[in-house]
Amino acid sequence: MIRITIRIKSVKVCHMKKHKNNSLANRTLWNLKKGESCVITGFDGTLQARYKTRLTELGFRPGAGISCTVAPRMGAPKLYRVANAVYSLEKQIAELVSTENSAA
């Protein structure tokens, strides 16, 4: 019983450490600011399969490099450049795309 508790605590600590060391850890596409780049790592499980497929077809696939070209204020959709095209995504869907630092 005691050992299990220790393990859980250990995992939590590791996770927190990682988060502390890398400011872009657990970030989503929506967190990207104008001029920033990232690499897509996956999609949130709540994203419907057909939208996941469509995003992938548009180039938003795990491993793809993405940059934010325009990030208007007041929650307006942001513009993302993927390959040689630019798409506008609103917060509701951009939040479901996981990313990591492009340097990683």
Tell me if 41 contacts other proteins by CB under 8 A: no
Minimum CB separation of residue 61 from other proteins in Å reads 6
Minimum CB separation of residue 39 from other proteins in Å reads 14
Tell me if 74 contacts other proteins by CB under 8 A: yes
61 Cβ neighbours under 8 A, 6+ residues apart:
40, 55
Do residues 97 and 59 touch, judged by C-beta distance below 8 A?
no
Tell me if 45 contacts other proteins by CB under 8 A: no
Interface residue with other proteins among 1, 2, 85, 103 (CB under 8 A) is 85
Contacts 24+ apart (CB under 8 A), 15-23: 22/100, 22/101, 22/104
